[in-house]
Chains A and B, each alone.
Chain A
Amino acid sequence: MDATVVADEVSRTFGPVRAIDRLTLEIPRGVIYGLLGPSGSGKTTFLRMVVGALRPTEGQLLVLGRTMPDREVAARIGYMPQTAALYPDLTLRENLAFFGRIYGLRGRKRLEERVEQLASDLGLLGWVDQQLYRFSVGMLQRASLACALLHQPELLVLDEPTVGLDPVLRRSLWAHFRQLAEQGKTLLISTHTMDEADRCDLLGFLRGGRLLASDTPAALRRQTGQADLEDAFLALAGQPGIPVGEP
């Protein structure tokens, strides 16, 4: 099966700053790929390149087989940016209807079904017809996620999707992510918490724009000899020379 995301020596600079430095990775279909790293390590920059909001300065980045930005592929990606990025003066239903139509979701009935289902999955039932400015941070986060999931995309790119959520909800969201992966969807999720990292199939350690390692959590533990992922990350960060992906 073709990989969903293929990055080959991808770099991105902002003026003198190298936000992503010769990053190479492959994300197969149907997995949850976690991008782990401290803030400022380039997670968001990489995700924005994957969805086509930024162009790589160097290297090649293929998403669903095409170089981004690409309008055909855009319809098959769901993106949840770090901030809610929705219209606060509109209700959740209106926001979803807008993005639904933009992503080519046809038919009022189909749209209504999706809205109801997402609202119930994300614990937002009863808030569907409320304007978003009334929402709390955690609710906005879920509304934003609903927008990304709406059109049932093949690739979901989620930038720290569970920030500000309570543990119960966080758990139910991850169960949902797992379900999506089992349906063959690919998820690219950035995070900086270790318990979430452990739930991913594959994990990329990012620091200073460089990918320190990319492997399964178990392999990363083995490779570094650390039982704890956080220690594993620190061990890798301390020895950037370790060959990536080889135990």
Chain B
Amino acid sequence: MSWQRVLALMLRIVRQFRRDRRTLALILVVPVLVLSLIGYIYRGSGEPTRLAVVLESDSPLARQVIALLEETSSLHVTVMEREQALQAVDRREVDGVLVLPSLPVQPGTQPKVELILEGSQPSAAGAVVSAVSRALPLAIIQTMSPSGQAIQIEPRFLHGGPQFDQLDYFAPTFIGFFAFFFVFLLTSVSFLRERLQGSIERLIVSPLDRKEIVLGYMLGFTLFATVQSIVMVIFTVAVLRIHYAGELWLVVFLTFLMTVGAVNLGIFLSAFARTELQVVQFIPIVITPQGLLSGIIWPVDSLPRPLQWLAQILPLTWANEALRAVMIRGEGLDALGLHLAVLVGFAVAMAALAMVTLRREVA
């Protein structure tokens, strides 16, 4: 093992990166761009859901319902005639129509509130239903006893907080996912090029041994992945003001472990590709399942049981859990023993596979 040779290889990869401005932009700018977009989607004010209300007769209760609905953020309420409202929902000008019957209802009759939903967009329909089902009972209580209070719910958060939202939940995992994705893609393409342009043969017949090749590649690529994760951590914390409770260096460290695995997976899989397009074909196999099942968007607990089992064997699942534990719950290394063991195991297993692949180069 010669560190001079390992460093030479690492230095070469760094040089090639510096020359390749577009790839550099890809790994540093794209994650920031995607995070900004997601941040804007979650935290910017979107188009409100539109609700038409039809009053069959005016009453204090009906007015109270409308007042409460209008208080609801991101809901736009318009009072309309029945015919007009039905046409509007048909033409998708409103997302739902609430028909308030004569209130209060006659004793002995079942009160019936008609709610017509456009329905082709589940999130809009859901927003209408939840706003209406919140406003109606509240209005009844408030109208019946004007001084009366609805039951107050006082949430007390163990982690996160009242401001904690979806973006806070996603952000830690995005850092791990981007590092894994880009490092895997770049290593496999770069190793494939090495094979296509024949320089791998020069390396194989040189004094470099397989360990040195794998190590040099690992150092070169994890260097950039680490820079990437630092940029992402700084951006999420300083610009997006993502909630964080734990040590940020731990986030970078977990990402580093993940990328060591990704570099070696890239070297290993590049042996099965003959063109760069074939490398891209590995994305649906390697990246997509991990993107969907590793708990980035849907928590692993919420998946159907067989998919949970599948998620357990994906390294990204363990990385994501650990990243969330650190960033959201502020846990330290001591609480993450199993996760670290899995990630280190993954890295070692992939390094072994990469070495086997390199052995096959001397046919």
- CB-CB < 8 A to B5: which residues of A? 101-102, 104
Query: Would you call A69 and B15 a contact (CB within 8 A)?
Result: no
Interface membership of A103, Cβ < 8 A: yes
Given contacts A54-B363, A69-B204, 16 further A-B contacts (CB under 8 A): A51-B205, A52-B205, A53-B205, A55-B363, A71-B207, A71-B209, A74-B206, A74-B207, A75-B206, A85-B201, A87-B197, A89-B20, A94-B12, A99-B206, A101-B8, A103-B206
Interface membership of B208, Cβ < 8 A: yes
Interface membership of A90, Cβ < 8 A: yes
Given contacts A87-B16, A90-B16, contact A104 B362 (CB under 8 A): no
Residue of B nearest to A131 (CB): B19
Select which of B9, B12, B201 is within 8 A of A81 by beta carbon.
B201
- CB-CB < 8 A to B199: which residues of A? 85-87
A residues 37-87 near B (Cβ < 8 Å) are 48, 51-55, 69, 71-72, 74-75, 77, 79, 81, 83-87
- CB-CB < 8 A to B19: which residues of A? 89-90, 131
- Size category, B interface: 20 to 34
Residue of A nearest to B363 (CB): A54
Taking Cβ atoms with an 8 Å cutoff, the residues of B that contact A are: 2, 4-5, 7-9, 11-12, 15-16, 19-20, 197-199, 201-209, 361-363
Given contacts A54-B362, A104-B4, A131-B19, contact A87 B12 (CB under 8 A): yes
A53–B362 CA distance with the chains assembled, in angstroms:
5
Query: Would you call B207 and A104 a contact (CB within 8 A)?
Result: yes
Query: Would you call B8 and A55 a contact (CB within 8 A)?
Result: no
Given contacts A53-B204, A74-B207, A101-B8, contact A90 B362 (CB under 8 A): no
A79 to chain B, nearest CB (A): 5
- CB-CB < 8 A to A131: which residues of B? 19
B181 to chain A, nearest CB (A): 22
Query: Would you call B4 and A55 a contact (CB within 8 A)?
Result: no
Residue of B nearest to A88 (CB): B197
Query: Would you call A102 and B206 a contact (CB within 8 A)?
Result: yes
A-B contact pairs, 18 of them (CB 8 A): A52-B362, A53-B204, A53-B362, A54-B362, A71-B209, A74-B207, A79-B202, A79-B205, A81-B198, A84-B198, A85-B198, A87-B12, A89-B20, A90-B15, A102-B5, A102-B206, A104-B5, A131-B19
The interface centre, meaning the residue of B5, B8, B20, B206 with most chain A CB atoms within 10 A of its CB, is B206
Query: Dominant SS at the B interface?
Result: helix
Query: Would you call A94 and B15 a contact (CB within 8 A)?
Result: yes
Residue of A nearest to B7 (CB): A101
- CB-CB < 8 A to A79: which residues of B? 202, 205
A23–B19 CA distance with the chains assembled, in angstroms:
46
Query: Would you call B8 and A98 a contact (CB within 8 A)?
Result: yes
Residue of B nearest to A144 (CB): B202
Total number of residue pairs linking A and B with CB closer than 8 Å: 86
A247–B9 CA distance with the chains assembled, in angstroms:
51
Interface membership of A92, Cβ < 8 A: no
Interface membership of A119, Cβ < 8 A: no
- CB-CB < 8 A to A69: which residues of B? 204-205, 362
A77–B11 CA distance with the chains assembled, in angstroms:
23
Residue of B nearest to A12 (CB): B363
Residue of B nearest to A147 (CB): B202
A101–B7 CA distance with the chains assembled, in angstroms:
9
Query: Would you call A89 and B16 a contact (CB within 8 A)?
Result: yes
A67 to chain B, nearest CB (A): 13
The interface centre, meaning the residue of B9, B202, B207 with most chain A CB atoms within 10 A of its CB, is B202
- CB-CB < 8 A to B209: which residues of A? 71
A4–B275 CA distance with the chains assembled, in angstroms:
39
A103–B4 CA distance with the chains assembled, in angstroms:
10
- CB-CB < 8 A to A90: which residues of B? 12, 15-16, 19
A94–B8 CA distance with the chains assembled, in angstroms:
10
A247 to chain B, nearest CB (A): 37
- CB-CB < 8 A to A48: which residues of B? 201
A16 to chain B, nearest CB (A): 16
Q: Which 3 A-B pairs give the minimum distances between C-beta atoms?
A: A85-B198, A101-B8, A51-B205
A92 to chain B, nearest CB (A): 13
- CB-CB < 8 A to A97: which residues of B? 8
Residue of A nearest to B197 (CB): A85
A97–B4 CA distance with the chains assembled, in angstroms:
12
- CB-CB < 8 A to B16: which residues of A? 87, 89-90
- CB-CB < 8 A to B11: which residues of A? 98, 101
A102–B213 CA distance with the chains assembled, in angstroms:
11
A99–B202 CA distance with the chains assembled, in angstroms:
9
- CB-CB < 8 A to B15: which residues of A? 90, 94
Select which of B197, B208, B362 is within 8 A of A102 by beta carbon.
B208
